[in-house]
Amino acid sequence: MTARRARIIGGAVALVVLLGAGVWIWLAASRPSTPAQSAASFLRALESGDVGAVEATGITAPQSALDAFTGASTLIEQGEVERIDEDGDRATATVSFHLAGDAHTATILLSHADGRWVVDDSTLGSLTATTTMGSFVAIGEAVVGSGDDIALLPATYTVEAAPTELLSGEATIVVLPGRATETIVEGQLREVATAAAQAELDRHLETCTAPVTGEKAPDACGIRIPWGADLAAVTGIRFRIERLPTLSLEGTSFHADDGALVATVSGTALDGRDASFTYRTDTWSVRGDVTFTADDLQLSVW
């Protein structure tokens, strides 16, 4: 190896070492080195509303809390670290901030691990929200069951009855560090809910009216055929929908009326010959229950 080549290789190695050292120095400088700095960084992240900034602080927040934070209606402001009480690898920060026009004071627990101070997940608040309509509530991009407890980052949130496309009703709640909050959302049906339920019922009744082999009319379809007065036995039934029943929602139940249905029944007549008879109703109706899922509705027809 020539002296020139050795100098080039040596210089390259030195450059790599310097670059690596620079990266290490940058990482060390970018990480808060004291409990006060970590607490202040957490407050700045909450003020920004940036989920990525919150995650970068190292706090262990469930995905549902991060999803909800994306839709926070009001963020904390003027966050300040007032006092730090440090005890080995644990520390308590007393902080102040403004939220939704009110001044608040709270304590934040921190722990020292892997060379950095990290805010404890006990800093999260919690919410239990119930709704009078449906079984789910939406908070930002998070959807949780009515009555379930969800951890949330400090902020103000709008809690909505879900699915929001079909139900209206909301409540505004303030979530503070380490505090539990409860709320009730008065849910109501949107007009589009009736259209969605009608479409679901139409699909069900289309399935109901597929040709039948044998004498048994389909269950949960509102179909009654008085063929016993004309036939001794039935081999098949064919249907023709002339008008689907019109659905009305009443909370968690529905009724659908004024449908028109024609049924042609084939089989053996009372005198023993092969025969078919046609039956018609202009009062085809069904009843049932409505269940709202997280993003849709389901019908149970009686």
pLDDT of residue 31: 54
Q: Which has the closest alpha carbon to 143: 126, 156, 129, 132?
A: 129
Among the residues of the chain, which ranges form H helices?
Answer: 3-30, 35-48, 51-56, 63-69, 191-208
In a domain, 22, yes or no: no
Give the dihedral sign, CA 83/89/90/95.
Answer: positive
Among the residues of 114-230, which ranges form H helices?
Answer: 191-208
pLDDT of residue 25: 35
- The CA dihedral of 49, 50, 55, 59, to the nearest 10 degrees, is -10
Which of these three, 146, 161, 188, is where a domain ends?
Answer: 188
In a domain, 79, yes or no: yes
Q: Do 164 and 265 reside in the same domain of the chain? A: no
Q: Do 215 and 246 reside in the same domain of the chain? A: yes
Q: Do 214 and 279 reside in the same domain of the chain? A: yes
Q: Which has the closest alpha carbon to 206: 254, 234, 241, 169?
A: 241
Any idea what the CATH number is for the domain that residue 91 is in?
3.10.450.50
Q: Do 70 and 168 reside in the same domain of the chain? A: no
Ranges of residues in the chain whose predicted pLDDT is under 50: 1-30
Q: Do 146 and 47 reside in the same domain of the chain? A: no
Q: Do 115 and 167 reside in the same domain of the chain? A: no
Count of domains forming the chain: 3
- What digits encode the pLDDT tens for the residues 260-274? 999 999 999 999 999
Q: Do 35 and 115 reside in the same domain of the chain? A: yes
pLDDT of residue 113: 85
Any idea what the CATH number is for the domain that residue 174 is in?
2.60.40.1120
Q: Do 171 and 224 reside in the same domain of the chain? A: no
Q: Do 293 and 213 reside in the same domain of the chain? A: yes
Q: Do 66 and 86 reside in the same domain of the chain? A: yes
Which of these three, 140, 160, 188, is where a domain ends?
Answer: 188
- What is the chain's Cα-based Rg? 33
Q: Which position has the token pair 């101070």?
A: 117
d(CA 147, CA 130): 5
Average pLDDT, the chain: 91
Q: Which has the closest alpha carbon to 256: 287, 280, 281, 282?
A: 287
The whole-model pTM stands at 0.81
Q: Do 214 and 271 reside in the same domain of the chain? A: yes
In a domain, 280, yes or no: yes
Which of these three, 123, 138, 159, is where a domain ends?
Answer: 123
pLDDT of residue 23: 36
In a domain, 68, yes or no: yes
Q: Which two tokens stand for residue 58?
A: 């190292």
By residue range, what is the domain housing residue 182? 125-188
- What digits encode the pLDDT tens for the residues 151-164? 999 999 999 999 99
In a domain, 24, yes or no: no
pLDDT of residue 271: 96
Q: Do 131 and 117 reside in the same domain of the chain? A: no
In a domain, 132, yes or no: yes
- What digits encode the pLDDT tens for the residues 205-240? 999 999 999 999 999 999 999 999 999 999 999 999
